[in-house]
Structure 1
């Protein structure tokens, strides 16, 4: 079997008919990408590949390894001359679909820790225009000890400042040589935060007002929202897939079909990056916040309001939850009757929200993704606060009544967090005779351990007292006392919790849906 490389593109190799192939042109490097991992390759690089193939753009990508070590993937990508196969699989409009693509837009991968000169040369490239990144949530952080004399610097913002300074000097501060930054790190205002830290380094390193002015006025820092589940290298299937392809690919990437990229920046960026024209779900907007709200409340909110109850009912995977007719209806009612009505607005129309919710149902039923409920349960306290409580507040403010399912989800959360022993950093819960690990911040676990200790679950008064204690913990709930802010919320929750613990979660869900 031949190894994947660019010779296969030109020597008459017979690729499978169901494999789409990106452009075979030699592409000048217009994009530098900090991060060579699965997510960016299945998301950003896929999109650049599409607009290259459709003749709407012509630019190659240089990948930069953002941290030392972990050279395996860099070596593989360079051996394959940047080529790799992406398989996007899932459900769309209720049907199972798969799309295979040979990505050709990546030219090379550089490790600045071992090849600093080549890395710095990228900054001097007159054709370079865009910088994409995914250096994890911790990547965009302030590290005061980073210095201009460190080569390379440790933190990503410091690397960016140095990279820009090299470019600024190379082109004598030419205002036409600024760069557009499109960070994909999962933090709020990722672009604004990155810019703030870059400017802070420039000031600390005393690089001069002219350079700071150039950053401010020649460069663009967008903020973004990214949405695609990437499942990465399909280890168990890789050998069989390569047999299907007819070539050996050691950098196969897999993802779901769904994708959305929201980019907050100047409107003219869409002309430079015509992703929507290629049929890609990329939105250029002056404000990313409504789209973040849509994702957090519908996609994440649907997870958080359902998975804990479903786990207690005996399910272990999202797919199992969706195959259960009762929980399917639970999610339908939560989204259509409670979440969407609470957040509809001029920016988020009913049609848009329902379309997004329909896509969520397809995504949750993706047979190629085995999403464990216990994995989703991590840090459920802060998740419930951010993803569900805001919606309850808005629903209650509009209708002066509690949303039935979202209120029940709080009782399911409390039942899931029932435990009186912390072991190796986790609170120990029990589902029947089976132990499970409740993972959250140490102070949260300690609170619930103390709250549940000595509680007789058959005593309604003790259950009510526990609910009152939890609802009154303002540190957990947006600074609110849920005993006083939401009418009879604690009473309803206490009734649900008592019934879950004494009659089972299935019986109580059936009552809620009746």
Structure 2
């Protein structure tokens, strides 16, 4: 079984486990689609708007936990504030993979309502907010209904195509299904959508980007106008990245389509932030016991949330919701906000994970509060990553001291129980896209980057230990990095160019990583980390 097949199996098992927990809760609770203030317990925010008026304004690819805790949370807030202005901005979710049926079925069974449980607990102080959210009009499974997906993408009332498909989703090659979609798109004026749904197998294997490019081609053919493509993935320059990939696919089909997309569509960058762990089965029981609610697939997250979007939309303000009314920051340049979040949250997440795992810890809050690990990651924040931010134009609009203080508080949130292993997923991509650029910028700023070197050394030990234990490494490049560490020679790992880029030629950095790798092997992770930090202080 391949890594991707194992990932799909794990996700199917996860949905099956949640459904079983929901069925058991159902004997004692009311389905959220039937919930009324008088028949639920405790403090729960139910929708105060008429969901029968929802109309699709946004088509979203990748309906997972983060999308539901973040982007949908904001449109739900807008619907509560001013429903009449925001009914037109409801979401239709799109799943392109077989395992997406689990999410579709869970939501469809409860009229596309779901519960957001936002929690925090730091140093004994707890906060919780329970919200039943209703901004999803419906969810389509593309392998079953390719024509309906295309029809919605081509609709004049659809203004935004949004995505949370992970870094990997942008690298999936064009498929035969994608080519079939483009052929369908150029017949948009004939209204061929029902015909496509009658023969869905013709489009099997079509990708998220394939649907987006074909959707734009259908808009061109039917004269519906351009659309805004809003990537909400945690990737530097996510809008620029989406534009590059979509324009390339359009050009592969024809120069005319490429030029039409360039002229008529926009690709705003944005920065997204809300820690959202995998839904634990216990959450379903808690909702039943504490609030009398049955939810097939609730989502839990931290109380903090942030969204910063570049002001670049087709049709300007009339082509998007008034997100700023719900706290979204609409700005001219996202880069300072994005880089601050990526370096002080995402990169720090990655750096703290592997020393903590090698120490036997399991959760982010345990690592954040461990004195030695905290000393490690705050040292990297202060001495290696902040210097790379302080030279960025526009950084003066961000209070870095306050941002760092809030982050440490968020890392320490015990109630979220975000696992170190979840954050350790796909480290090869995270280093390539986030960690290596930060390291190179740090050297440019005169920082010694010992902390980042120690991160890579501890990751190498984690890879080797996982292989020895017979554990599956949850990384898209698992086989490559596992093979590199077979001989326990760190240099084979450091030679992987698509992970480390220019750093493979940086002899000082390579020596540091090798030194820390040997130190961990010789004296153990805690002693090696303490020694490195003591030398840092000197």
Q: TM-score range by the shorter chain?
A: 0.7 to 0.9
1:361 is matched with 408
Cα distance, 1:128–1:448 mapped onto 2, change above 3 Å: closer
- State the aligned residue count: 474
Contact 1:22 1:50 in 2 (8 A): no
Q: 1:128, 1:270 → 2: CA distance? A: 15
Partner of residue 76 from structure 2, selected from 28, 35, 49:
49
SS in 2 for 1:337: helix
Cα distance, 1:406–1:169 mapped onto 2, change above 3 Å: closer
Q: 1:238, 1:410 → 2: CA distance? A: 38
Cα distance, 1:162–1:278 mapped onto 2, change above 3 Å: same
1:441-497 C-alpha deviation (Å, 9 max, x unpaired): 444333333354xxxxxxxxxxxxx77x877877764334566456xx73x666655
1:316-353 C-alpha deviation (Å, 9 max, x unpaired): 33222223222222222221233213431233349533
User: How do residues 408-423 of structure 1 correspond to structure 2 at under 5 angstroms?
Assistant: 408-413=454-459, 415-416=461-462
Q: CA deviation at 1:382?
A: 5.9
Contact 2:62 2:94 in 1 (8 A): yes
1:143 aligns with 2:190: no
Q: 2:157, 2:234 → 1: CA distance? A: 28
1:505 aligns with 2:525: yes
Cα distance, 1:241–1:118 mapped onto 2, change above 3 Å: same
1:3 aligns with 2:43: no
Q: 1:407, 1:196 → 2: CA distance? A: 31
1:35 aligns with 2:62: yes
1:244 is matched with 290
1:370 is matched with 417
Q: 2:426, 2:132 → 1: CA distance? A: 37
1:462 is matched with none
1:259 aligns with 2:305: yes
- Give the structure with the higher percent helix: 2
SS in 2 for 1:161: helix
1:331 is matched with 377
Unmatched segments (≥5 aa) in structure 1: 420-425, 430-434, 453-465
TM-score by length of structure 2 reads 0.74
SS in 1 for 2:128: strand
Q: CA deviation at 1:235?
A: 1.6
Q: CA deviation at 1:49?
A: 0.7
Q: Which has the higher contact order (CA 8 A, sep 6+)?
A: 2
1:395-453 C-alpha deviation (Å, 9 max, x unpaired): 44434x6255445445544555567xxxxxx6327xxxxx877676444333333354x
Cα distance, 1:40–1:500 mapped onto 2, change above 3 Å: closer
Cα distance, 1:298–1:167 mapped onto 2, change above 3 Å: same
Cα distance, 1:20–1:269 mapped onto 2, change above 3 Å: farther
1:340 is matched with 386
Q: 2:292, 2:325 → 1: CA distance? A: 33
1:277 aligns with 2:300: no
2:262 is matched with 216
SS in 2 for 1:45: helix
1:156-209 C-alpha deviation (Å, 9 max, x unpaired): 233223333444444xx25xx432221234555544454455556656656x94
Q: 2:531, 2:456 → 1: CA distance? A: 16
Q: 2:484, 2:398 → 1: CA distance? A: 42
Cα distance, 1:230–1:269 mapped onto 2, change above 3 Å: farther
Q: CA deviation at 1:378?
A: 4.8
Q: 1:264, 1:405 → 2: CA distance? A: 32
SS in 1 for 2:115: strand
Q: CA deviation at 1:52?
A: 1.6
Identify the range of structure 1 (358-367 vs 385-394) with the bigger mean alpha-carbon deviation. Answer: 385-394
Identify the range of structure 1 (339-348 vs 194-203) with the bigger mean alpha-carbon deviation. Answer: 194-203
Cα distance, 1:411–1:181 mapped onto 2, change above 3 Å: closer
Cα distance, 1:427–1:232 mapped onto 2, change above 3 Å: closer
Q: 1:123, 1:386 → 2: CA distance? A: 30
1:67 is matched with 97
Q: 1:351, 1:163 → 2: CA distance? A: 38
Q: 1:158, 1:212 → 2: CA distance? A: 14
Contact 1:23 1:49 in 2 (8 A): no
Q: 1:43, 1:111 → 2: CA distance? A: 21
Partner of residue 79 from structure 1, selected from 109, 112, 117:
109
Cα distance, 1:391–1:350 mapped onto 2, change above 3 Å: farther
Partner of residue 467 from structure 2, selected from 427, 431, 434:
427
Contact 2:165 2:233 in 1 (8 A): yes
Q: CA deviation at 1:236?
A: 2.2
Q: CA deviation at 1:112?
A: 4.2
Contact 1:139 1:185 in 2 (8 A): no
SS in 2 for 1:354: helix
Partner of residue 301 from structure 1, selected from 329, 341, 347:
347
Q: CA deviation at 1:51?
A: 1.4
Q: 1:300, 1:127 → 2: CA distance? A: 36
Cα distance, 1:107–1:412 mapped onto 2, change above 3 Å: closer
Larger Rg over CA atoms: 1
Contact 2:164 2:233 in 1 (8 A): yes
Contact 2:120 2:414 in 1 (8 A): yes
Q: 1:493, 1:413 → 2: CA distance? A: 10
Partner of residue 444 from structure 1, selected from 477, 481, 501:
481
1:235 aligns with 2:281: yes
SS in 1 for 2:86: coil
Cα distance, 1:79–1:318 mapped onto 2, change above 3 Å: closer
TM-score by length of structure 1 reads 0.77
2:45 is matched with 20
SS in 2 for 1:450: coil
Q: 2:463, 2:166 → 1: CA distance? A: 28
Q: 1:69, 1:379 → 2: CA distance? A: 19
Q: 2:435, 2:384 → 1: CA distance? A: 10
User: How do residues 470-481 of structure 1 correspond to structure 2 at under 5 angstroms?
Assistant: 477-480=500-503
